[in-house]
Amino acid sequence: MISKKAIQIFSLGIIAPLTLQSCQQNTVTNSANTDILTGRLIITGSSTVAPLVSEIGKKFEGENPDVRIDVQTGGSSRGISDVRNGIADIGMVSRGITPEEDDLSFHSIAQDGVGIIIHQDNPIDSLSDEQVKQIFTGEISNWQEVGGKDAPITVVNKAEGRSTLELFLDYFVLTNSQIKPSVVIGDNQQGIKTVEGNSFAIGYVSIGTAEFSINNNVPIKLLPLDEIGATRDNVANGSFPLSRPLNLVTNGEEDFLTQTFINYSQSAEVHDLIKKQDFVTLSR
């Protein structure tokens, strides 16, 4: 344990000067002149949110030339822990707040749905929630049992710790140990590639990413859930049941630059960027 602490102190020694410097700069400009923003923001977390935030960051840097926005991925959990440890100014989290996280403040910037995908050649057009559950737990292992071709089902699951997995398990009231996967994947793209290459696979990915791929002629299709189509429109009007907010997270004591950036990310000025990333803007 002592050596672990030593390592933490060692790494803090490297990182702290960088962050401290940016903090000092922020406070100076904060009191002196609120029109010109300077400083550096470190943003880490969810790989789903990161592309959007780096686009927002670029636009923000364009309008405030003295600001540097540094975006790094690593998953929602990393976003949370980096903000708690003070390594990052803002964390990115692609799910709602959980009770253990009420010490942090969550700021939603967009919405995304999680949709079930299968190959385009698969004749199935819809599955009931119960059927999906039985497929993922291995009770149904052949497409014939749900009205498809006589072929074994390839169940594509996500790796432990991914927020899409948590959301999926939550909706179908499952634990990960009940799922009997044939393939375990990391990010959404890998899931789409796997289903693309296997006519009898079933998986679940971000609706935004899936729609983007479908628009680029990738032979997959999104299945409706609970008879509600997995479209961005249905995520936007709140009728699609399996959706999640994309959040920026802070430890509650934002400095001026952080606060400005969060306000900017929530403003109508970034709606075009959100749409371009195939996410859904928040109606407010």
Q: Where are the beta strands (DSSP E) in 148-255?
A: 154-158, 183-185, 201-206, 220-223, 243-250
Region of 26-34, 54-62, 127-135, 186-194 interacting with another protein (CB under 8 A): 186-194
- Closest contact distance (angstroms) between CB of 245 and another protein is 18
Q: Where are the beta strands (DSSP E) in 120-206?
A: 154-158, 183-185, 201-206
In this structure, the strands spanning 105-119 and 154-158 are: unpaired
- Closest contact distance (angstroms) between CB of 255 and another protein is 26
Q: Which of residues 225-284 bind another protein (CB under 8 A)?
A: none
Is 77 an interacting residue with respect to another protein (CB under 8 A)?
yes
- Closest contact distance (angstroms) between CB of 260 and another protein is 29
> Minimal CA–CA distance to 265: which of 101, 55, 76, 73?
55
Is 175 an interacting residue with respect to another protein (CB under 8 A)?
yes
Number of residues that bind another protein (CB under 8 A): 36
User: Six-digit token pair at 85?
Assistant: 């440890």
Is 177 an interacting residue with respect to another protein (CB under 8 A)?
yes
Q: Which of residues 9-48 bind another protein (CB under 8 A)?
A: 47
Q: Which of residues 193-232 bind another protein (CB under 8 A)?
A: 193-194, 197-198, 200-201
Q: Which of 37, 49, 80, 270 binds another protein (CB under 8 A)?
A: 80
Cα 227 from Cα 188, distance rounded (Å): 23
Is 161 an interacting residue with respect to another protein (CB under 8 A)?
yes
Closer of 73 and 265 to another protein (Cβ): 73
Cα 245 from Cα 14, distance rounded (Å): 34
Say which residue the tokens 């799922």 belong to.
Answer: 179
* Alpha-carbon dihedral sign for residues 155, 161, 164, 169: positive
> Minimal CA–CA distance to 123: which of 145, 143, 140?
143
Closer of 90 and 165 to another protein (Cβ): 165
**What per-residue string of b and e applies to 29-52 under the rule 16 or more CB within 10 Å gives b?**
bbeeeeeebbbbbbbbbbbbbbbb
Is 74 an interacting residue with respect to another protein (CB under 8 A)?
yes
- Closest contact distance (angstroms) between CB of 74 and another protein is 5
Region of 48-56, 76-84, 103-111, 260-268 interacting with another protein (CB under 8 A): 76-84
Q: Which of 162, 221, 232, 244 binds another protein (CB under 8 A)?
A: 162
Q: Which of 190, 251, 266, 281 binds another protein (CB under 8 A)?
A: 190
Cα 281 from Cα 277, distance rounded (Å): 11
Is 4 an interacting residue with respect to another protein (CB under 8 A)?
yes
In this structure, the strands spanning 201-206 and 154-158 are: parallel
Q: Which of 81, 126, 251, 266 binds another protein (CB under 8 A)?
A: 81
Dihedral Cα 277, 244, 207, 271, nearest 10 deg: -30
DSSP state of 142: B
Beta bridge partners of 116: 204, 223
Q: Which of 26, 48, 111, 154 binds another protein (CB under 8 A)?
A: 154
Residues of this chain that interact with another protein (CB under 8 A) are: 1, 3-4, 7, 47, 73-78, 80-81, 151-152, 154, 159-162, 175-177, 181-186, 190, 193-194, 197-198, 200-201
